[in-house]
Structure 1
């Protein structure tokens, strides 16, 4: 058993008591790595993770006291922190009260109705808790409660009523009737897909064009990168997977001239908008990395002009309704943006770090006009997202836009500020070492605390899902394994020196399914990487589709998995955004790039030889199925791989737009930051010539690939 971290840090075995305490908080004290070795987590890591959960244990005496506290914690509360149940199943809820007291429990339904719960004949011996003889009564939660967000209320004689959230969730997520048994769709990085009228970056007007075009080609979905908000001022983080919030959208994607009020601007103001566009519109044909900051600077000029022009009474009512629906979360996000703007490049006064402080209240008043502006930006983005989704559906897509949900948020962003009680401090989320990232990964994102989520009734998770799903026909959840466990890395530790922390997956998945069911959305979980065997079966049983990437699917002998052996309930693709496009992968560019960047831990010849064996095995398998001619071209290889995936029983098949146009460069190289232009490359062909939306109908390679996929799906 390996008890030393790869970096050589002194591991220090955790005591038996520390292991029991860790288990009580869902902190794993061991794991199996990708090489098959069993590893014990060092005591120093366990203590750091427990501290982030609010449990500081510097000595074995501290550990002993913490064990007593965690055992008594349920008895110290009348009701559980929250309760998430499946519709159609009877459940039980424990209620704690002074021994001999009486209690009545009811459910206040979401629609205002009430149901009285029946006490069950379950006897649990009372115990002394903090000097009070405490008993436990058990009540039954009936199976016929409606789906929704309800409230449990327990009235103990002589006390104020105790309350907790009760969420009744679908047992299985229903697939909308309009979604065919098998469907295909496009996958695109929206910022990279530009038109001649773009402002240097792909936007929501371009999204509407993409959805309309590919809907007419027979696609049923369009999967795009996360549209989560980035910094409102200063350098904008390029990665869509490191946002300042996951709940609200990046106004960078707004098309200013599509805002209704822009059409009615007086001549001078309209000229200001047009001049701003001219500053960046020429970048649409520039093959250089995308300059988000230049595009946003131009859009900010135009958006300020349009906002100041005001709105009609009807439009203002729509804005007011949006603001009321989004509630305090939107107000806090808009205030964070206003503060970030005011203190651009400076450290905020410490008194503003607490969102509930008097200083923050004063800032709300002082910055009310700027808060209004940032609220307006979210409303505009929301209306343009609605337009894009309607365009995709009207063009024939069964699902339309498939949004992508990032794993977490920037450690200094809006969510980290407004949700400080829910996010763990001093921790980054990542992944342990694997075959493709042999040094592990630290995504520098503070994870949600499982205990805080339960205490808050999963409100922040629910509200975030509602906003992302509002204009979505489907949702892809990046690293859905994070609903089960996450790799927590304490600050100052290497990515390979973390440990897994478990979440209440029944509750997390239940909340996800409830919000998806309400809007009729399909859910796809990115379940790649190190996956516990039962997790995929569990997700499938709840109606959540998984993810299969051709290059990662292997049989028992290490060869390509046969198409008939793929899972049915998945989105199957040839590649993923963390690999080069298929043409580049076939040319071993994933090896070349990692060699140049110093990311390989194995000798280069070994890695290159393995890549060539992988390709040779894949080509042999394609020939076995009669999918390749003699001496195939690059295009024919790419088409054969997609035909192979389309022959699987997989419910959904995804085609990357980069494969359809012949791009070879990777959009992202995991394990890098500034060493590679991650998330900045515009859509281009194999010669790095920019491809615009207007070019798509004329690209023979695209039409041929679409025809191959449609024909293979029909076989």
Structure 2
């Protein structure tokens, strides 16, 4: 039974209309089926974060009038995203004037855009009569990033009295289906791993890009076509480093934590004394490579940074320096700003006492203090620019190793939902983010108070005004050396749950984004990279969103334990085709641990259960027994099946689905039981710090993986089943 949830703080009609004009939901359907009416305080706070004053009814009415006039004040919009073969440009021309349009294509060529006769729509704005024209774009415009130039001039005039430019982005209708091996029936499987957890005897206490290439080679030799890893976005460069890969400092640049110092060419030219020092830095952290206890990012990065500074000081050959210079020129000012942020983090960590905050000016990239420090920290900025170049080189090597092993797709990166509120992106792109707002999720059965992810949201209008350049650059960075991209919480391209500071998680509301534009940019960059895109579309997602993503060639996500139909597990034959299907996810224990009820035991130990532990255990046992009964009915296990046999049977069960991509978690291949991330915890559990181990709790190093019996058995059975 549903009900209307209202508060005494009901918004006036003008405030409601204003919020809707800016994409702010004034009501929504909750997880529990109730229609919730958003209070006026929430709407005002969110509008204020968008730069819209609506504290009084009079202000709301004035802002609503301004919102209606705003597009008319522009000769052309700041950006327009269209699908190939279609698109209409709105042009607003002053009365008594003509307008001429031309498109400068990405290759530099120019084309005129004819304006057909039409019944124009007039509007009086700021005392001037304006006419709205609807101009069809040429149907044969190529895919790419173009620009529309508009010139307005008085009737009979020789010179334009107004000019404007619109970023024109022509995107593909749909992406191509994922590549696969001919004997896999149009499907492909791959390995999924947390890169930091996969270490070799050559690692520095944490898995790195060299390990990534080696793991991809091992998986490719077993028949895998992709290797999905956790986000490798850059985090802090000073301690403490945020362990969650889903709360990065930036989504544009990548983590030098994963660099292998010995694989940098200049390392070979270190003087003997410096090479000895480098080995001394590595020794203590490398000793942890066989320790199954806990990954220490801070120790590993401190050792690596010291070693990398030695390598950075080695003179580069003219050819190598030219490569670095070309990389820096291509990445431009955003790279310099990120490197400056890194240098500032180091500077303030070294000059401020513990607990002392940096000057307020330091949080403003345009302040005189930051300008002064940009000059003062030139060498450190150069070091961090160099580091990103090294990251790019080593990721390219990993993708080459993946493709050389026979993988059709190769490395699959993961895109986090957002960034840290005090990270590089929020600092250097502050005008792109809503101040005083964080994103999260509304209340549901798992989090009855809602969730706050402590990430600032992009401002929808700022994205459009920027021509979606930050989104484009972020995707390009991730796809430059990869064959696929997984989008965490892909619903964020459609709407996000905004939480005003001080109001609490449940007092937020949804804010809509221009999904056609954002998905279009994503599709264009993926098309150019020849990459596959997967959207994590789990949870409370409207059905039309899944249909829309599928129509654009973007795959969804299915997880065995979450797929239900008619009060029971959904038969895999009923899964969607356009998905990445997996048995588990990093927010659940590995399959061996899940079958043993480790998810219940852990939550009980941490005090996270909302129901009696006996009830939770009974529900987990019933769920497991229902799945085992299905496996027996299908002849996949016998009455006395072992844990390993059940894990393999679950993967064979999944292969009965039509899903185009199938994921096999590395933890399932070695018998690990510990979860990588326990939602609802921060320091109570070592989230994102659990190294790869087997069922006995012994660390598994990459050097031994190819010969690991359990890993070979699972991958063999998956490969054989797909071939059949």
Normalised-by-shorter TM-score class: over 0.9
Give the one of 212, 219, 225 matched to 1:207.
212
The whole-number CA distance in structure 1 between the counterparts of 2:31 and 2:428 is 37
Q: Deviations over 1:327-386 (max 9, x none)?
A: 111011001111111111553333333323443333222211111000000000110001
Q: Deviations over 1:382-433 (max 9, x none)?
A: 1000111100110111111000110000000000011101111111111223
Q: Alignment partner of 1:102: what SS?
A: strand
| Structure 1 residues 67 and 35: alpha-carbon distance in aligned structure 2, compared to 1, 3 A threshold | same
Q: Tell me if the contact between 1:218 and 1:397 (Cα under 8 Å) persists in the aligned partners.
A: yes
Q: Alignment partner of 1:481: what SS?
A: helix
The whole-number CA distance in structure 2 between the counterparts of 1:671 and 1:76 is 47
The alignment status of 1:127 with 2:136, answered yes or no, reads no
The whole-number CA distance in structure 2 between the counterparts of 1:235 and 1:470 is 29
Give the structure 2 partner of residue 154 of structure 1.
Answer: 150
Give the structure 2 partner of residue 475 of structure 1.
Answer: 485
After alignment, is 685-694 or 487-496 more displaced?
487-496
Give the one of 123, 133, 136 matched to 1:140.
136
Q: Tell me if the contact between 1:437 and 1:670 (Cα under 8 Å) persists in the aligned partners.
A: no
Give the one of 575, 581, 585 matched to 2:590.
581
Structure 1 segment 268-279 matched on structure 2, within 5 A? 268-279=273-284
Q: Alignment partner of 1:133: what SS?
A: strand
Q: Tell me if the contact between 1:96 and 1:134 (Cα under 8 Å) persists in the aligned partners.
A: yes
Structure 1 segment 243-322 matched on structure 2, within 5 A? 243-322=248-327
| Structure 1 residues 434 and 660: alpha-carbon distance in aligned structure 2, compared to 1, 3 A threshold | farther
Give the structure 2 partner of residue 17 of structure 1.
Answer: 14
The alignment status of 1:672 with 2:681, answered yes or no, reads yes
Give the structure 2 partner of residue 63 of structure 1.
Answer: 60
Give the structure 2 partner of residue 53 of structure 1.
Answer: 50
Give the one of 162, 168, 183 matched to 1:166.
168
Give the structure 2 partner of residue 545 of structure 1.
Answer: 555
The whole-number CA distance in structure 2 between the counterparts of 1:604 and 1:192 is 30
The alignment covers a number of residue pairs equal to 709
The whole-number CA distance in structure 1 between the counterparts of 2:128 and 2:54 is 27
The whole-number CA distance in structure 1 between the counterparts of 2:504 and 2:234 is 28
After alignment, is 353-362 or 188-197 more displaced?
353-362
Q: Alignment partner of 1:310: what SS?
A: coil
Structure 1 segment 95-494 matched on structure 2, within 5 A? 95-157=91-153, 158-175=160-177, 181-344=186-349, 346-494=356-504
Give the structure 1 partner of residue 518 of structure 2.
Answer: 508
Q: Tell me if the contact between 1:175 and 1:520 (Cα under 8 Å) persists in the aligned partners.
A: no
The whole-number CA distance in structure 2 between the counterparts of 1:338 and 1:627 is 57
Q: Tell me if the contact between 2:632 and 2:639 (Cα under 8 Å) persists in the aligned partners.
A: no
The whole-number CA distance in structure 2 between the counterparts of 1:325 and 1:126 is 44
Q: Tell me if the contact between 2:27 and 2:36 (Cα under 8 Å) persists in the aligned partners.
A: yes
The whole-number CA distance in structure 1 between the counterparts of 2:562 and 2:13 is 38
Q: Deviations over 1:561-619 (max 9, x none)?
A: 10110000100000001111111111222122223323333443433333222222211
The whole-number CA distance in structure 2 between the counterparts of 1:15 and 1:35 is 26
Pairwise CA distance, 1:87 = 0.6
Q: Tell me if the contact between 1:249 and 1:378 (Cα under 8 Å) persists in the aligned partners.
A: yes
The whole-number CA distance in structure 1 between the counterparts of 2:498 and 2:8 is 16
The whole-number CA distance in structure 2 between the counterparts of 1:257 and 1:467 is 24
| Structure 1 residues 613 and 11: alpha-carbon distance in aligned structure 2, compared to 1, 3 A threshold | farther
Pairwise CA distance, 1:12 = 2.1
The whole-number CA distance in structure 1 between the counterparts of 2:445 and 2:665 is 23
The whole-number CA distance in structure 2 between the counterparts of 1:441 and 1:632 is 39
The whole-number CA distance in structure 2 between the counterparts of 1:349 and 1:540 is 48
Pairwise CA distance, 1:285 = 1.0
The whole-number CA distance in structure 2 between the counterparts of 1:554 and 1:310 is 60
Pairwise CA distance, 1:2 = 5.6
Stretches (4+) displaced over 6 A = none
Q: Deviations over 1:611-638 (max 9, x none)?
A: 2222222112222222111121111111
The whole-number CA distance in structure 2 between the counterparts of 1:561 and 1:119 is 54
Q: Tell me if the contact between 2:230 and 2:414 (Cα under 8 Å) persists in the aligned partners.
A: yes
Q: Deviations over 1:124-167 (max 9, x none)?
A: 33221111122222222122101110011110114242012100
Pairwise CA distance, 1:458 = 0.3
The whole-number CA distance in structure 1 between the counterparts of 2:276 and 2:164 is 60
| Structure 1 residues 449 and 2: alpha-carbon distance in aligned structure 2, compared to 1, 3 A threshold | farther
| Structure 1 residues 145 and 20: alpha-carbon distance in aligned structure 2, compared to 1, 3 A threshold | same
Q: Tell me if the contact between 2:171 and 2:520 (Cα under 8 Å) persists in the aligned partners.
A: yes
TM-score, with structure 1 as normaliser:
0.97
The whole-number CA distance in structure 2 between the counterparts of 1:179 and 1:2 is 52
Pairwise CA distance, 1:62 = 1.5
The whole-number CA distance in structure 1 between the counterparts of 2:444 and 2:191 is 28
Q: Tell me if the contact between 2:29 and 2:36 (Cα under 8 Å) persists in the aligned partners.
A: yes
Q: Tell me if the contact between 1:191 and 1:201 (Cα under 8 Å) persists in the aligned partners.
A: yes
Q: Deviations over 1:31-77 (max 9, x none)?
A: 22222222222222222111111112111111111111111111111
Give the structure 2 partner of residue 690 of structure 1.
Answer: 699
Q: Alignment partner of 1:355: what SS?
A: coil
Structure 1: unaligned runs, 5 residues or longer: none
Q: Tell me if the contact between 2:75 and 2:163 (Cα under 8 Å) persists in the aligned partners.
A: no
Pairwise CA distance, 1:176 = 6.2
Q: Tell me if the contact between 1:100 and 1:135 (Cα under 8 Å) persists in the aligned partners.
A: no
Q: Tell me if the contact between 1:176 and 1:520 (Cα under 8 Å) persists in the aligned partners.
A: no
| Structure 1 residues 578 and 18: alpha-carbon distance in aligned structure 2, compared to 1, 3 A threshold | same
Pairwise CA distance, 1:174 = 2.0
| Structure 1 residues 276 and 484: alpha-carbon distance in aligned structure 2, compared to 1, 3 A threshold | same
Give the structure 1 partner of residue 715 of structure 2.
Answer: 706
After alignment, is 463-472 or 49-58 more displaced?
49-58
Q: Tell me if the contact between 2:490 and 2:537 (Cα under 8 Å) persists in the aligned partners.
A: yes
Structure 2: unaligned runs, 5 residues or longer: 154-159
